[in-house]
Amino acid sequence: MTVLAEGNLVRLRTIRVPDLKAAVAHPYSLSATEPMTDLGWARSVHDQTGFWTPKAGVAAFEVAERLIGTMQFYSPGPTVHGFEIGYSVHNEDDRGKGFGSEALRLFSDLLFAQHPECHRLQLIIAVENFADARTVEHCGYAAEGTLRKAHYTAPGEPADCLIYSRVRD
């Protein structure tokens, strides 16, 4: 296990094999680009990369050595000089306690420190997710606009999302 950053509430660290069972119960906690719910597949990816490469990765955040959630980063496309971030606080009981906020601040600072070529970090949030909107704004992210019909919801029409960014100071 590699500790990536520590705050007052949470520790950010690399993903460990024992984390995988809990993480696959949340489809986008190990991959922001596709649901990863198969434990065997997750184990294979972990064995190959540890869920951390220069262009994409997943970190766990924990409190008192208990897994609280995961953070992901990946390149949103060749014309964006930065990363897109996704995060998940796995259990409802752990939400609203500041764990996700602190993890997002630590993760954002880590990505800017490790990637000098990175000029922006962005998150996409469903328009009805007011709690996440408050969290990312509290962490220094600014709302940029609406991505119409960009969020896949099954079944039915894609939903609108908001895009937030934090740029390098």
E strands within the chain?
Answer: 3-6, 11-14, 56-63, 66-74, 82-89, 120-126, 142-151, 159-167
Domains, the chain, ranges and CATH? 3-119 (3.40.630.30)
- Whole-number pLDDT of residue 24: 87
Distances 43 to 23, 38, 48, 74 between C-alpha atoms, Å: 11, 9, 9, 19
Global pTM?
Answer: 0.91
Residues 6 or more apart whose Cβ sits within 8 Å of residue 81: 117, 118, 119, 120
- Whole-number pLDDT of residue 29: 79
- Whole-number pLDDT of residue 113: 96
- Whole-number pLDDT of residue 35: 73
Please write the tens of the pLDDT for every residue from 96-147: 999 999 999 999 999 999 999 999 999 999 899 899 999 999 999 999 999 9
SS3 content of the chain, % helix, strand, coil (to 5): 30, 35, 35
13 DSSP assignment: E
d(CA 20, CA 25): 9
pLDDT(25) > 70: yes
Residue 33's pLDDT band (boundaries 50, 70, 90)?
low
pLDDT(13) > 70: yes
* CB atoms near residue 165 (< 10 Å): 18
Q: Between the CA atoms of 153, 56, 11 and 106, what dihedral angle is there, to the nearest 10 degrees?
A: -90
pLDDT(164) > 70: yes
